[in-house]
A and B are shown apart, each in its own frame.
Chain A
């Protein structure tokens, strides 16, 4: 079962500076499914449309076209009942900064029947948050932790983290991820986390979605993604690009070394096909990290859009 489903989701916004194109499309025809129990990383460069997508999911923005269903409910009709099961933390969210950490928790608690005081205390200890300090006096990392605490304490069914790592220094990022990882075993929740940097989420995510220029490029389990991407090195001769297999990216030659990235690796069968295509070459196939896949796809997307522009 999917916790989040979108169909043809689009959002246009008024452009303040562009008189020619009076409205720009931030998200275009996005169809996405986030399975229950997954940690879904929505990735993409800055301005790709991740935050707009999440804001539509959270009913902070209205879709101009298409539909999103969250917990089985149209996102435009999300009400009090649904939000008792949804936790949302965003780098952009305007928190009541005049409150202390304690006041924030005291304020939020009565709204959630499932609020777990014990979990609240545990998280307070883990996150090392000063209870009597006003939110406006907290560092950015501490502020995000406070926001996270106020959403985790009621064990939401769906946790949505929109660029939670932005503006955090590496140590803070590490602590935040550790925090999320530490609590992930405390509940049975689905997590949707957006980021422009794969490094932040590669330890967390089991599903990956990639958005670029408002369009969904891919959406699949991380394991499948890792499985079908391979770095292929051919040594022994110089091979013409005309022999490049379909779906190969970043074809490069240097002396007698030819490299490309295969995007449809299916194990032994793929390697056998390559050996048959280049019988004189020595073949070396190595897996890619999620970060390498992300960079490859981002680069390929940029080349496509540059080509289209040219």
Chain B
């Protein structure tokens, strides 16, 4: 091990200056991202330019990483008959161990070490740091492995650059050729499996080449292995028939306490629009633990009609209003409704119901108490009319659950910022939105919010919180930002929010809630998956309302 380490130290001595340059590039990416939190201008052009700078820095750092990996390998080349190390007491196995250790330290671990302080500065939890490190290391390994294999084959830098260029041209050309000849009706899962497998074969081939070159130094064998790998990848691209997702182990864990959740089938409807036909099923969940939210799930429904016709449909199920556990996480007191406002709302609702009855329309029934979930299932056109007759139904659900986590909560003021548990939030600007007409009162303000969060955090919800009255208003999500940048694993979003000023009924008119801007806060919440549960529901006869 000492001698292996000795070779690594020699390589570091050789590459220390280029490594410092590369570290500078990594820091440059971080600084360019940090600048987004204190932008010189809120104009979209400034953000576009910043994205441009980040893209260039990221691209250059990737290229430099590949070149440095090659330089590490070519420090002790494997091709040729004038090699220094071969006539020294250095075995191929030891050299391979040294190069892998060096590549691991310089190009896989070092970027994580450089970035961790920044991740912590962005509010990453230890779990986020661990997951981010794994993400960066996996990505770096995917970069390093082919560069190492190619340089092991090339033996000299000019040939490495030439072959890299050739590979960069051949990859899209090969992928394009395979894509061109793919049958149009091939399922997405099979295509995804082919892509995944082709990549896996590519990486495996790289590993094989590295092993062969370092252990045997038989260039012809290694080139044969490379050709075999490429041929196998193309063959998989053309012929692989199976969707691997079907064989992937599925999460079957049962959330503790899930047996107490009551889940009922609360409504069914059928709808058609043009050539599209679908049925909608509504479910209502009650008695879920206070801190558990329903995130999404899968559903498989078997329909059976009295004439023996059967139909099986599969789809996704999602909650209609996913924020109800945020109250729990925010520690809000029970909502204290304003009596005058509630009375006016009830009056307006009743007036609306009467108007619909006058027009002969059936008013929407109120949603049942509890959490509502919905699924839309596409129906073959020839079977759509069957739903006029109530079928028996068997529904198998797998629901994913999560816990709301409060990431940050700041006063609704310009410059307000907080680094929370897993994210960082800053309000860049707050300004009133001019009313639609001069005679109407302003009822909206716009806020420009910048957030930094782990890229794997798929969902970030903004909430306008009124702690005085215990109310929460959902105000948009970071899924639709106006600007998005990522220096893995940190994703930075600029989200424009339109905040509705809470309205109250006073003296016969709607007015903005007094002092709301001073008292309300903006909270960022995410939902971290914590498990799920399975449930089977059955109905002997389910009526589908036509809409």
Contacts and interface: CB of A to CB of B under 8 A. Distances in A.
A58 interface: yes
Contacts of A84: 89
Interface stretch (B77-85, B188-196, B274-282, B521-529): B77-85
Given A55-B81, A60-B82, A95-B84, A110 B91 contact: no
A60 B82 CA distance: 7
Interface residues of B, number: 20
A98 B16 CA distance: 13
Nearest to B5: A110
A18 interface: no
A73 to B, nearest CB: 13
Contact of A60 (B6, B13, B87): B87
Given A55-B81, A94-B84, A80 B89 contact: yes
B2 interface: yes
Given A92-B82, A98-B14, A108 B87 contact: no
Best-surrounded residue of A81, A103, A108, A110 (most CB of chain B within 10 A): A110
Interface in B1-44: 2-3, 6, 10, 13-14
Contacts of A92: 82
User: How many residues of A sit at the interface, in one of the four size bands?
Assistant: 20 to 34
A86 B284 CA distance: 81
A110 B87 contact: no
B87 A93 contact: yes
B3 A108 contact: no
Contacts of B6: 107, 110-111
A194 to B, nearest CB: 15
A154 to B, nearest CB: 9
Contacts of B82: 60, 90, 92-94
A95 B84 CA distance: 6
Contacts of B127: none
B421 interface: no
Contacts of A176: none
Interface in A83-136: 83-84, 86, 88, 90, 92-96, 98, 103, 107-108, 110-112
Nearest to A107: B10
Given A80-B94, A98-B14, A103-B13, A112 B89 contact: yes
Nearest to A112: B89
Interface residue SS majority, chain B: loop
A184 interface: no
Interface in B80-120: 80-84, 86-91, 94
B87 A58 contact: yes
Contacts of A79: 91
B3 A83 contact: no
B406 to A, nearest CB: 55
A152 B427 CA distance: 70
Contacts of B80: 94
A61 interface: yes
A96 B85 CA distance: 10
A58 B83 CA distance: 11
B88 A110 contact: no
Contacts of B75: 96
A218 B341 CA distance: 115
Contact of B88 (A55, A61, A81, A83): A83
B182 to A, nearest CB: 40
A96 B83 CA distance: 10
A83 B75 CA distance: 20
B3 A111 contact: yes
A96 B7 CA distance: 13
Contacts of B90: 80, 83, 111
B87 A88 contact: yes
Contacts of B84: 93-96
27 contacts: A59-B86, A59-B87, A60-B86, A60-B87, A61-B81, A79-B91, A80-B90, A80-B91, A80-B94, A81-B89, A83-B87, A83-B88, A86-B87, A90-B82, A92-B82, A93-B82, A93-B84, A94-B83, A95-B84, A96-B14, A96-B84, A98-B14, A103-B13, A107-B6, A110-B3, A110-B6, A111-B90
Interface of B: 2-3, 6, 10, 13-14, 75, 77, 80-84, 86-91, 94
Closest 6 A/B residue pairs (Cβ): A88-B87, A80-B89, A83-B89, A60-B81, A111-B89, A84-B89
